Structure 1
Amino acid sequence: MIALTGATGLLGRFLLDGLPGPIVTLGRRPVAGYAHRLWDLTGAAPDLAGIDTVIHAAFSHVPGRYRGGEGDDPDGFLAANLDGARRLFDAAAKAGVRRVIFLSSRAVFDGSATGVPLTEETPPNPASLYGQVKAQAEAHLAALPLIGQNLRATGVYGPGPNHKWQDLFADYLSGQSVAPRRGTEVHGADLAQACRLMLNSHQTGAFHLSDLLLDRHDLLSEVQRLTACPHAPPPPSDRPVAPLICIRLPALGWQPGGMDLLRTDLPRMLKQ
């Protein structure tokens, strides 16, 4: 049985759709159709009896922000996200859980120099508090006697309520100024595919998850094509971005959807 934290969040909905059952959700609110056990990041460890795999996707942050997600409460941010993860991982080891998959982030490298290849063997070098929390939680998991797998994801996009580009699309379509930017992205369905493959792997440590190096110019050009919006997309960004180098997941058979999947789901996202 899989126990999933963060099931009501941005990542959780993709995982619920893409993971094999049975699944029990761990959190403050149940999800219709799934078994549920009450748990809070700031509280005691959850009941993990009968659980084979824990997938930890819950994260407490200021809405819309991960880096800088501590807002004006860094102590509370640490207490929930780092201490809460440690309690969860320790409880998993104590309960005999065989595997923990931790949704980490490329932010573990946000202090690295531009141009440094970000391989799965590259030592973390976080600068933000967000990156530090992810890196320290990774290290805690690595020391426990179970299969600990840290899934370092780039930005995750995909259709659903309050998807990550909802405000960006609204600003562009209304004619507001949109700043140039580019970054690495992966679809939520490809995140779920990665977790499914990891369930059958005994490898521990870091797994990198990234698909597209996407410029807002290109993304909003696609939006313009679909909507006939009269406003010009922002110019291409000249900001250097080091892609995550993904080796371990493709070796397991992972095949992300690329631009074809993005173009397929853009119409749905524009309606939300």
Structure 2
Amino acid sequence: MRVALTGATGIAGHAVAARLLSAGWDVVTLGRRPSRFDMPHVGWSLGEQPDVACDALVHCAFAHVPGRYRGGEGNDPDGFLHLNRDGTLRLLDAMAGARIVFLSSRAVYGAYPPGTRLDETMPPRPDTLYGRLKAETEIEVSQRGGTSLRATGLYGPAPPGRDHKWANLFADFVAGRSILPRVATELHVDDLADAVELCLRGRTPPVLDVSDILLDRRDLLALYAEISGTDGRLPDRGDATRVSEMGGGRIRALGWMPQGRAGLRPSLVEMLGLPKPKLGAERSSR
């Protein structure tokens, strides 16, 4: 099976590219520039119809204001919709007959009350243009027999030339700047890549929630301080009861198993560029 992958230079697409390549998939990337991986590449931008034939499409590309997804339209909502909604429709039309895996977002749930336990049986209530765009695209993907992965916040090593998602937060912590309390759901990019491969290997439901840990910023920074040997003022603990988590039971029933909180420490070590502890040292410290 030949798989076309968009967004391979982004944090999600980069992890997906690495996983599919290591698993022996025949992958061609579509984008403005090739990824660092040794795989075929076709020059393409959102809004264009690529000249490539593939059996499957993994669509991770997304045009937005740097660093923002909700609010990613900036001052140009029309251009935002034109590129992401209309451009995706052109891409799907060009890939007629291909198996589709679309990277969606928990933002489609939008306006449910804080603390709501979310699942795929609940109708979308997007309260941002970003969420509305993802929800509308999910319908198009479903009509073509594909699957949309509603992912939560992604963490993990950044693609080459980019900072990881917590770089600014860690810099503020070390500099002694005030940091607001926050609790959020997080998912390692490798676990997202696992979910993508699961969808490629067999027919899956039209929508799957993909989420893992509930992480308090205070706990994250305490772990960062321990690993890096730095010090700083920890923020107050956030209110976890106001976070609306996605259950993710549907994809777990298909055999998907994320890393959980145990994956956070080794991921931070990698994100910070620190040497991994030797196996013997790990065992002796337990």
Task: Normalising by structure 2, report the TM-score.
Answer: 0.89
Please show how residues 60-209 of structure 1 align to structure 2 within 5 Å.
60-93=63-96, 96-97=97-98, 99-144=99-144, 147-160=145-158, 161-209=162-210
SS in structure 1 of the partner of residue 253 of structure 2: helix
Q: Confirm whether residue 270 of structure 1 aligns to residue 267 of structure 2.
A: no
Structure 1 residue 244: Cα displacement = 0.4
Match of 1:56 among 35, 39, 59: 59
After superposition, what is the alpha-carbon deviation per residue over 1:45-99, rounded to whole angstroms, capped at 9, x for unaligned?
A: 11231x1110000001111110011111111111111111111112222xx31x1
Would you say the 8 A contact 1:68–1:129 is kept in 2?
yes
Residue identity (%): 47
CA shift, 1:232, in A, is 2.2
Residue 247 (structure 1) shift: 1.8
Q: What 5-or-longer segments of structure 1 have no aligned partner? A: none
Give the equivalent residue in structure 2 for 1:46: 50
**Which ranges of structure 2 fall in alignment gaps of 5 or more residues?**
275-286
Asked if 1:249 corresponds to 2:251, the answer is yes
Using the alignment, how far apart are the partners of 2:236 and 2:206 within structure 1? 39
Q: In the aligned structure 2, how far is the partner of 1:101 from the partner of 1:28? A: 20
The two structures, once aligned, show a CA RMSD in angstroms of 1.4
Deviating beyond 6 angstroms after TM superposition, the runs of 4 or more aligned structure 1 residues are: none
Conserved in 2, the CA contact under 8 Å of 1:60 and 1:77? yes
What is the distance in 2 between the residues matched to 1:232 and 1:176? 8
Do the aligned residues in 2 keep the contact of 1:26 with 1:37 (CA within 8 Å)? yes
Tell me, yes or no, if the aligned pair for 1:26 and 1:38 is still in contact at 8 Å.
Answer: yes
Distance in 2, matches of 1:9 and 1:115, equals 30
* Cα drift, residue 129 of structure 1: 0.6
- CA distances 1:177-218 after superposition (whole Å, capped 9, x unpaired): 111111110000001111111112212311110000111011
Q: Which amino acid aligns with 2:110?
A: D
How far residue 167 of structure 1 moved from its aligned partner, in angstroms, is 0.9
